[in-house]
Amino acid sequence: MTAGHLVLPGTRGRRLVDAIARHRVAAAVAGLLVLPWVMPYQALAVNVLVYGLYAVGFNLLYGYTGLLSFGHAAFFGAGAYGCGIAISRFGVPWPPALIIGTAFAGALGAVIGGLAIRTRGIYFAMVTLALAQCVYAIFYQWVSLTGGENGLRGVNAGRLLLFGWQLDLIDPTTKYYVVLVFVALALWLVSRVLDSPFGAVLEAVRENETRARACGYDVRATKFLSFVLSALVCGLAGSLMAIHLSVVPIDTLNYTTSGLVVMMTLLGGMGTFFGPFIGAGFFVVVEDVTTLYTDHWQLVVGTIFMVFVLFFPRGIWGVILQWLRP
């Protein structure tokens, strides 16, 4: 009987997981639609959206292509500053500013990616980290444009008349759902890419680069495209962050922001579609709640992270998948 359970797991749970996997974007959006009502407060729900998207972008490169970057703060920050500077310094309305921020991050991704994919493994991580620190230094020094150490202020999105419909981003609920629209679009795009033949090549490169090359795939072009796509998604996340907080702190570009996304992705489950989002949500909420009760929140968060790395290396969603669909 016990053996039977192990071999033939529950069909219902499995069916549920399969159904979620088939309609993964719809399932993610359905979950996110109710998020503001179960979170402690709405600004935190927006943080989950933004960091979730950031982790999804990172996971595209790390989880699916197998390239561990330690410099993704550069793209998150470039998106934030690109969008923020467009709004605060040039008075661009927020929808085009979002595009500017995302495009800027993508362009930066092309530059950094073009240089970094020449290396592999630990060298790749070091090169991305070093280049991201260069980006940090430039933004830190260019005070007249970026506000330097004080950060960029005045990213005030405010109201917008869209097809006769007043969109007021000061209202927290409106802001959440506006951000969700962009996150949903990005999720759909990522899902579409992963389902495409190109998505399969990404995983082929991750599993065995030499073999992928032997099969006739252009490994370097695949890595480059994956890098730029990842930068674009992270840039969009950064742009949304700028609009959400109405400021861009210089910490956005700091290496700790690069480390954060690695942590979130590992917590949630790398190489899975939902993992990064779940990891980001889990991290943001645990940090927020423990801060209310103790000054030593880092101890709690750090312990949880270590437990996951040691005992659940597949992450939260990875463990759930393994449990329901062994």
Partner 1 sequence: MKTQRTKIGSNRLAGPSRRKILGAAAAGAAAMAASPFWFNIARAAAETIKIGFPVPLTGPYGAEAKQQAACAQIAVDEFNAAGGFNGRMAELLVRDSKLNAGEAATRTLELIEKDKVDCVVGSLSAAVQLAVNNVTKTRKVLYVSISQSDQITAMPDYSRYTFHEALNPHMTAGAVARYVLPKFGKKVVFLTPDYAFGHELVNGYQAVGKELGLQMLDNVLAPIGATDFSTFFPRIQSLHPEVLIVNNFGRDQLNTLKQVASFGLNKQMHIAVSVLLYGQRLAGGPEIFEGVVGGSNYYWRLEDKVSSAKHFNAAYRKRNNGAEPSDYGAYGYAGTYAVLSGIKKAGGTDTEKLIAALEENRYDPYKGTEYFRKCDHQAVQSVLILEAKPKAKMSNQYDVFDIVEIDPADEKNLRSCAEEGHV
- Chain residues binding partner 1 by CB under 8 A are 1, 4-5, 8-14, 16, 37-44, 47, 148-151, 153-156, 158, 170, 172, 241, 245-247, 249-252, 285, 289, 291-292, 295, 297-298, 323-324
Cβ neighbours of residue 322 under 8 Å, at least 6 residues apart? 314
Least Å from the CB of residue 324 to partner 1: 7
Least Å from the CB of residue 12 to partner 1: 6
Q: List the Cα angle 127/131/136 in 5-degree steps.
A: 145
Question: In the complex with partner 1, which residue's Cβ is closer, 43 or 219?
Answer: 43
Question: In the complex with partner 1, which residue's Cβ is closer, 61 or 243?
Answer: 243
Question: In the complex with partner 1, which residue's Cβ is closer, 30 or 221?
Answer: 30
Least Å from the CB of residue 296 to partner 1: 8
Q: Could you give the dihedral angle defined by the CA atoms of residues 258, 131, 192 and 43, in that order, rounded to the nearest 10 degrees?
A: 40
Amino acid at 222: T
Question: In the complex with partner 1, which residue's Cβ is closer, 52 or 199?
Answer: 52
Helices H, strands E: what count in the chain? 16, 2
Secondary structure element (H or E) that encloses residue 162, with its range: strand 159-162
Cβ neighbours of residue 107 under 8 Å, at least 6 residues apart? none
Q: Alpha-carbon distance 183 to 178, whole Å?
A: 9
Question: In the complex with partner 1, which residue's Cβ is closer, 60 or 284?
Answer: 284
Cβ neighbours of residue 176 under 8 Å, at least 6 residues apart? 35, 36, 42, 45, 46, 49
Q: Alpha-carbon distance 114 to 133, whole Å?
A: 17
Question: In the complex with partner 1, which residue's Cβ is closer, 9 or 95?
Answer: 9
Q: Alpha-carbon distance 315 to 187, whole Å?
A: 20
Q: Helix 121-141 to helix 255-268 angle, to the nearest 10 degrees?
A: 130
| CB-neighbour burial class of residue 193 (10 A; exposed 0-12, middle 13-18, buried 19+) | middle
Least Å from the CB of residue 86 to partner 1: 16
Least Å from the CB of residue 194 to partner 1: 26
Secondary structure element (H or E) that encloses residue 81, with its range: helix 73-90
Question: In the complex with partner 1, which residue's Cβ is closer, 122 or 134?
Answer: 134
Least Å from the CB of residue 294 to partner 1: 10
Question: In the complex with partner 1, which residue's Cβ is closer, 114 or 158?
Answer: 158
Would you say 120 and 69 are in contact if contact means Cβ atoms under 8 Å apart? no
Least Å from the CB of residue 201 to partner 1: 35
Question: In the complex with partner 1, which residue's Cβ is closer, 173 or 208?
Answer: 173
Least Å from the CB of residue 320 to partner 1: 8
Tell me 9's DSSP state.
Answer: -
Least Å from the CB of residue 161 to partner 1: 18
DSSP conformation letters of 259-274: HHHHHHHHHH-TTSSS
